[in-house]
């Protein structure tokens, strides 16, 4: 049975810990030799079974990656309750801090598996974003801003046909301008995106699999070809049917040079 890399006084039952802790500090991934109880510090256990015609004992490797992720993906009743309470508190804070014409709330529902934080470092290669100190899934507001800014840039470039009202000046006004190569063109955008607390459908996250085939090319410097050995990599996702509430604020003082964006709240219509 796989163990977590924690002091023994913490025990072995982490079922009441938050999903973030079970995915991180308490990840039960590290293998044990089931005969000697030796810690292997790999991602598999060593099992011993009597098999074959001559009934000989054989050593088998049992991978722990999938089981570790499934254990981390579960939500307790208190996790679900806390998820709802965090969203309710966020909604109340947003209502108290933003005027009606300075704010935008968009409700959405995931129609496909959704993941956040894949680039975070993790023993299983693919990370996931959990909000500290609650240990619940979240999507950083900075990520939402980055996706929308890139979408606006692609619309302006003509990649998707009509620009839908976007141009480079509006992108700069709403999302800001970053300094490059030491220049002094940095400008703050008018839009502020709050973090998103997804309301997960069901009582667990989903476990998905990707199977890259080109390790010999990307990591070993070999020539690319189509006979590469697929390597299954499991990772966590938010399941379809989960609900998302997007909170956006607009600092109208930063749009004085762009009165057209303020007229009839034109910035509202650009985002959805």
Confidence of residue 181 (pLDDT cuts 50, 70, 90): low
pLDDT in tens, 239-250: 999 999 999 999
How far apart CA 200 and CA 126 sit, in angstroms, is 20
Residue 58 token pair = 């054989």
Predicted pLDDT of residue 234: 86
pLDDT in tens, 259-269: 889 888 889 88
Between 22 and 52, where is the model more confident? 22
Confidence of residue 157 (pLDDT cuts 50, 70, 90): very high
- Helices 141-157 + 168-175 axis angle, to 10: 170
User: Dihedral through CA 82, CA 86, CA 88, CA 93, nearest 10?
Assistant: 160
Q: Which residues of 65-102 are buried (b: 16+ CB within 10 A; e: fewer)?
A: bebbbebbbebeeebeebbeebbeebeeebeeebeeeb
Tokens 């990707």, residue?
A: 210
Confidence of residue 183 (pLDDT cuts 50, 70, 90): low
CB 48 within 8 A of CB 58: yes
The mean of the pLDDT values for the chain is: 89
User: What 3-state class would DSSP assign to 26?
Assistant: coil
What would the mean pLDDT of 176-190 be, rounded to a whole number? Answer: 77
């Amino acid at each position: 049975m796989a163990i977590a890399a924690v002091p023994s006084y913490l025990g072995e039952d982490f079922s009441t810990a938050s999903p973030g802790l079970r995915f991180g500090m308490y990840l039960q991934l590290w293998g044990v030799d089931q005969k000697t109880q030796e810690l292997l510090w790999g991602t598999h256990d060593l099992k011993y079974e009597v098999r074959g015609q001559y009934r000989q004992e054989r050593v088998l490797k049992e991978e722990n990656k999938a089981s570790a992720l499934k254990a981390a993906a579960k939500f307790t009743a208190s996790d679900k309750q806390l998820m709802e309470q965090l969203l309710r508190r966020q909604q109340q804070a947003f209502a108290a801090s933003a005027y009606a014409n300075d704010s935008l709330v968009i409700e959405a529902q995931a129609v496909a598996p959704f993941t956040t934080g894949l680039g975070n470092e993790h023993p299983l290669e693919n990370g996931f974003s959990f909000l500290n100190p609650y240990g619940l899934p979240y999507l950083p507001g900075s990520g939402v801003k980055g996706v929308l800014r890139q979408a606006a840039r692609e619309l302006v470039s003509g990649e998707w046909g009509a620009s839908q009202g976007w141009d480079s000046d509006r992108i700069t006004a709403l999302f800001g301008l970053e300094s490059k190569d030491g220049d002094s063109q940095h400008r703050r955008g008018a839009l502020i995106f709050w973090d998103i607390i997804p309301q997960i459908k069901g009582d667990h996250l989903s476990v998905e699999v990707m199977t890259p085939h080109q390790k010999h090319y990307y990591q070993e410097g070999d020539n690319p070809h189509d006979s590469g050995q697929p390597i299954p990599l499991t990772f966590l996702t938010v399941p379809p049917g989960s609900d998302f509430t997007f909170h956006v604020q607009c600092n109208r003082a930063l749009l004085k040079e762009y009165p057209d964006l303020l007229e009839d709240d034109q910035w509202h219509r650009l985002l959805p």
